[in-house]
Structure 1
Amino acid sequence: MNDTHVTVVGNVADSPRRVSLRSGTVTNFRLASTARRFDAQTQQFVDASTFWVDVECWNDLSGNVSGSVSKGDPVIVQGMLSTHSWEGENGRRSTPRIRALAVGHNLARGTGVFRRTRAVRPAEPGAAGDGAPTDGGALPGEVEDLVPGRDYEVDPETLYGADTHDLTAEPAHV
């Protein structure tokens, strides 16, 4: 296969839109990734060109993105790049599109809290299934309880807030 896998770092440019279709649920949003460069004349970093791309997230990722990502959030998107084409009133049009495999907040720009979700396992053939999980797990879309020994957080006291008052700002990457 000749899929073009990409990772794009940028900001969510519009509110994510979630739609249910026969083939599953999809959440779409527009991503803006603006390059920065150092201007030797002004001795400052300045914005260069902006890459605009549509992002589509399917099924479980769709629900997680629509519940976690908002307009303006700094994110990292990893997925397969393609070109979406259509016939418009001014002729043939096209735009780049990423079918996301993973979307996450850019923790270089802020902090985050992760809540694990777990899907329900399919019922065994012949088992009485009412759609409720049989293993004590969460229903789809619900937050799963943390399990000591498997998760990093045992209790809230194990996590410490960042004390940034004495840190110097890192220069932007060129």
Structure 2
Amino acid sequence: MNDTLVTVVGNVVDSPRRVSLQSGAVTNFRMASTSRRYDAAREEFVDSGTFWVDVECWGALSGNVSASLSKGDPVVVHGALTTQSWESDAGPRSKPRIKAFAVGPNLQKGRSLFTRDKSARSGEEGGTAPAPDRAGEPDFPAADDELRAGRDYLGTDETLDPVDTDDLSREPAHA
């Protein structure tokens, strides 16, 4: 399969909408990514064009996105870029769409508190999205204490910097 994979950094421009379909749950939102460039004549950064794109999220990602994102949130979206086409009174129309594989906060713009989704990790999620092909890979650990070399951090606690969560807000970051 020749998917066009893209990673887009931008902001959510409308409230994510989650819908349950016969094929599973899907969450859709629109995002905007505005490039900036340095204008030497004006000696300042200026906005260039804005890329507007619809994002669709399926399965477990659908629920996590609808529970986590709000209008205005800075995000990073990774997925397959497609074109949605349709006929209108004015003739053929089209717009870009990303089928997201991963969505996360843009930590350049703020901080985030992550909560691991235990039901998705243990396979209890009721979604109908196909499981990724992991042929040749060992099974994921059944418990947190079964770490896998090369995938999970194996080291001493002294190696890690302590995290001070007292100054982290539980409110979503906004641009």
Query: What is the identity, as a one-letter code, of the residue corresponding to 1:2?
Result: N
Deviation at 1:120, TM superposition (A): 6.6
* Alpha-carbon distance in structure 2 between the residues aligned to 1:77 and 1:118: 22
Per-residue CA shift, 1:38-86, capped at 9, x if unaligned?
Answer: 0112211111100001000001000000000111001000000000001
Deviation at 1:30, TM superposition (A): 0.5
Q: Secondary structure of 1:119's partner?
A: helix
- Between 112-121 and 88-97, report the one with greater CA deviation: 112-121
Q: Which residue of 2 aligns with 1:51?
A: 51
| 1:94/1:72 CA distance change after superposition, 3 Å | same
1:159 maps to 2:159? no
Q: Which residue of 1 aligns with 2:33?
A: 33
Structure 2 unpaired stretches of 5+: 127-143, 168-175
Q: TM-score, normalised on structure 2?
A: 0.71
Greater RCO (CA < 8 Å, at least 6 residues apart): 2
Q: Which residue of 2 aligns with 1:87?
A: 87
Q: TM-score, normalised on structure 1?
A: 0.71
Runs of 4+ in 1 over 6 A off after TM superposition: 148-152
- The size of the alignment, in residue pairs, is 140
Q: Percent identity?
A: 61
| 1:30/1:9 CA distance change after superposition, 3 Å | same
Query: What is the identity, as a one-letter code, of the residue corresponding to 2:56?
Result: E
Structure 1 unpaired stretches of 5+: 122-136, 142-146, 164-174
